[in-house]
Amino acid sequence: MKNLKKEDKLYIQTFREIRSYIIRNGLKGGDPLPTEAAMCQMLGISRNVLREAMKSMELMGMIQACPGRGTIVKEFNLDFIFQNVLFFTVGEEEEKSIKEMFGIRKMLELSYMRQAYLALTDDDIRQMRVCMQNIQEKWDEHKLFHAEDKAFHMTLFKSLSNGVLTSLMEAIWAVDDGFQIEEKEKHMDSTIAKHEAIVIALEARDYEAFAKAMENHFASGKYLNNNTYEEY
Amino acid sequence: MKNLKKEDKLYIQTFREIRSYIIRNGLKGGDPLPTEAAMCQMLGISRNVLREAMKSMELMGMIQACPGRGTIVKEFNLDFIFQNVLFFTVGEEEEKSIKEMFGIRKMLELSYMRQAYLALTDDDIRQMRVCMQNIQEKWDEHKLFHAEDKAFHMTLFKSLSNGVLTSLMEAIWAVDDGFQIEEKEKHMDSTIAKHEAIVIALEARDYEAFAKAMENHFASGKYLNNNTYEEY
DNA sequence: AAATATTTGTCCGTATGTATC
DNA sequence: TGATACATACGGACAAATATT
């Protein structure tokens, strides 16, 4: 007398029901969802199961919960997918994947550098100068400067106001963060010089020098993979 | 003594920790995860929070739980997300994200086309010719040819043997598939002609023509965003 | 400002169904 | 058959954040 068909787990059914509820009622970004208690009663399930479904939604960016206030529907964006899911399969020990990812970052930065250059404001450039000083300080203290390096490059591209590109870059940097073991004391001084060259070119508003400095920046060890411009 | 910055909710931290655990231990599809009780103790959290994170993963197809047996890591792909997450009427924000994403795909394909051209085998090109025929058939039957279009472009870049790039492209195509907005019957005939031009150039092993055909392919509506090569 | 109510966050305990030996 | 291990599901309790009076 049981189900003939193998039913999905309750929390998955619940996920679908909530999703259906949102669609059925035409809820858009910002619209409130009923409280947990109300939904439990409405669906006839326990709070734990409801939360398993709701938290799945929240993790994927479909809704957002706030204590004391309630839960609202969110507008969709790709951040979650890029930052938590896309590179899920990229193991940190898989050096090949890491190199591939660096290669993509290199390609993206070099491809977008023209637009970035055009979009950069004086304020952005000043900010990059500050990043340089922070990098220099870390270096003087014999510390790693991953965060500062990231801030430097993100500043360069945040001017493009391309949310997806930003997410993608964040995702790549996040993997880099877990990887950055090697080359601690190797060529950091030359890395600093390369960053310096980029800022100087920008401060002078010299695109040719900027492009050259960017190319040079990515011509070092960990970026040197199969992404070379070969002749055909 | 706490973090000054607003911490993420526990279940989100837990999600990341489990993901990190999987990556750190190099777990692949079929490999078992510790039991819920063990993970709770390991992470120092309650069962509810752990389950909120685990059920999110299961819903996304990263893991699979079975009573009496335990939980295993699953072979992961992105399809599920776009089938479960895309529930909305596409608003302006979403459309902006999608356009940005197309822009990135355009940039990537154009950036990598030299390497792709060099890496393409005769067999790859024959396969692309087959894709073209499939596209033509769908078109003759007045059907959409998203899958065939994807196969065409993925063939072009699979030759690069860049797993991360492939994942990224897959993700972009998956989102595209989920949205499939605009231009149903609009300029499909010209789209076909553009693909045809690409294949012809490849069959002739003419890089100049190939590059031109690629540029032309991406010069259409939905790729036309801020990714223009402006003068400086 | 201060107290109170509302809502989500987190934890615990218990019972049940299912797979394995 | 029975015993064990595990996930599934329920309910209660209190804490933390927010809103309201």
Average pLDDT, chain A: 84
- Per the prediction, chain B carries an average pLDDT of 84
Residues A190 and A84 in one domain: yes
Whether pLDDT at A230 is above 90:
no
Q: Is the pLDDT of residue B136 over 70?
A: yes
Same domain, B104 and B40: no
Number of domains comprising chain A: 2
CA atoms within 13 A on the CB side of B80: 16
Q: Higher-confidence residue: A30 or A94?
A: A30
> How many other C-beta atoms lie within 10 A of the C-beta of residue B138?
18
Alpha carbon B163 to its chain centroid, in Å, reads 12
Q: How confident is the model at residue A4 (pLDDT cuts 50, 70, 90)?
A: very low
CB contact under 8 A, A104 and B15: no
Could you tell me the pLDDT band of residue B5, with boundaries at 50, 70 and 90?
Answer: very low
Q: Do A85 and B78 touch (CB under 8 A)?
A: yes
At B214, list the tokens.
Answer: 């690629």
Q: In terms of Cα–Cα distance, which of A76, A79, A61, A75 is closest to A164?
A: A79
Mutate which: A45, A49, A59, A98, vs B, most B CBs within 10 A = A59
Read off the pLDDT of residues A132-144 as tens digits, 9 standing for 90 and up.
Answer: 999 999 888 888 8
Q: Which of B49, B56, B57 should we substitute to test contact with A (largest number of A Cβ atoms within 10 Å)? A: B56
pLDDT of residue B126: 96
pTM of the model: 0.76
Domain-terminating residue out of A57, A73, A89: A73
Distance B69 CA to C21 C1' (A): 12
The model's pLDDT over B178-195, given as tens digits with 9 standing for 90+, comes to 666 555 555 677 889 999
Q: How far is the CA of A67 from the C1' of D14 (A)?
A: 15
On the question of pLDDT at B122 being above 90, the answer is: yes
Report pLDDT for B112: 96
Q: Tally Cβ neighbours within 10 Å of residue A56.
A: 27
Instruction: Looking at the structure, tell me whether residues A21 and A93 fall in a common domain.
Output: no
- Provide the 3-class DSSP secondary structure of residue A72: strand
Of all residues in chain A, the one with the smallest CA distance to B28 is A89
Same domain, A92 and A66: no
Sign of the torsion formed by the C-alpha atoms of B166, B171, B174 and B180: negative
What pLDDT score does B2 carry?
A: 32
Instruction: Let me know whether A68 and A87 are in one domain.
Output: no
Distance CA A140, CA A148 (A): 14
CB neighbour list of residue A161: distance below 8 Å, 6 or more residues apart: A119
| B105 & B193 share domain | yes
Region B118-124: mean pLDDT is 96
Q: Tell me: the pLDDT tens digits for A66-102?
A: 999 999 999 877 777 777 776 676 655 567 777 888 8
Question: Per the domain annotation, does A5 fall within a domain?
Answer: no
CB contact residues (below 8 A), chain B span 57-96, against chain A = 59-60, 62, 76, 78, 81, 84-89, 91, 93-94, 96
Same domain, yes or no: A162 and A219: yes
Do A40 and A149 share a structural domain? no
Report how far residue A161's alpha carbon sits from residue A115's, in angstroms, rounded to the nearest whole number. Answer: 11
A201: pLDDT strictly greater than 90: yes
Residues 6+ apart with CB under 8 A from A210: A113, A117, A198, A201, A202
Are residue B170 and residue B204 in the same domain, yes or no?
yes
Contacts of A229 in chain B (CB under 8 A): 114
Q: Are residues B89 and B190 in the same domain?
A: yes
Out of B26, B47, B73, a domain closes at B73
Q: Give the pLDDT confidence score for residue A108 in this predicted structure.
A: 95
pLDDT tier, B42 (very low <50, low <70, confident <90, very high otherwise): very high
Q: How far is the CA of A111 from the C1' of D7 (A)?
A: 49
Amino acid at A6: K
Q: How much is the average pLDDT of B118-128?
A: 96
Has residue A229 been placed in a domain?
A: no
Whether A162 contacts A119, CB under 8 Å: no
Q: Is B168 close to A104, i.e. CB distance below 8 A?
A: yes
Give the CATH number for residue B118.
Answer: 1.20.120.530
Domain match, A91 and A111 both = yes
* Domain span at A102: 79-224
Closest CA to A140 of A150, A132, A128: A132
**Mean pLDDT, residues B141-169:** 89
Q: Tell me which of A58, A73, A88 is where a domain ends.
A: A73
Strand D closer than 7 Å to the CB of A10? yes
Containing A65, the helix (H) or strand (E) segment is strand A63-66
Q: Give A 12-41 residues with CB within 8 A of chain B.
A: 12, 15, 19, 22-23, 28-29
- Whether the CB of A48 is less than 7 Å away from nucleic strand C comes out as yes
Interchain proximity A78–B86, CB inside 8 Å: no
Which residue from A123, A108, A198 is spatially nearest to A157, judged by alpha carbons?
A: A108
pLDDT at A28 over 60: yes
Is residue A1 a part of any domain in this protein?
A: no
Query: What CATH number is associated with residue A19?
Result: 1.10.10.10
User: Contact at 8 Å (CB) between B112 and B154?
Assistant: no
Q: Is residue A33 part of a domain?
A: yes
Residue B230 lies in a domain: no
The answer to whether residue B4 sits within a structural domain is: no
A192 inside domain = yes
d(Cα A36, Cα A76) in Å, to the nearest integer?
Answer: 22
**pLDDT band at residue B85, thresholds of 50, 70 and 90?**
low
In a domain, B3, yes or no: no
**A115 and A171 in a common domain:** yes
B104 phi/psi in degrees, rounded to 5: -65, -40
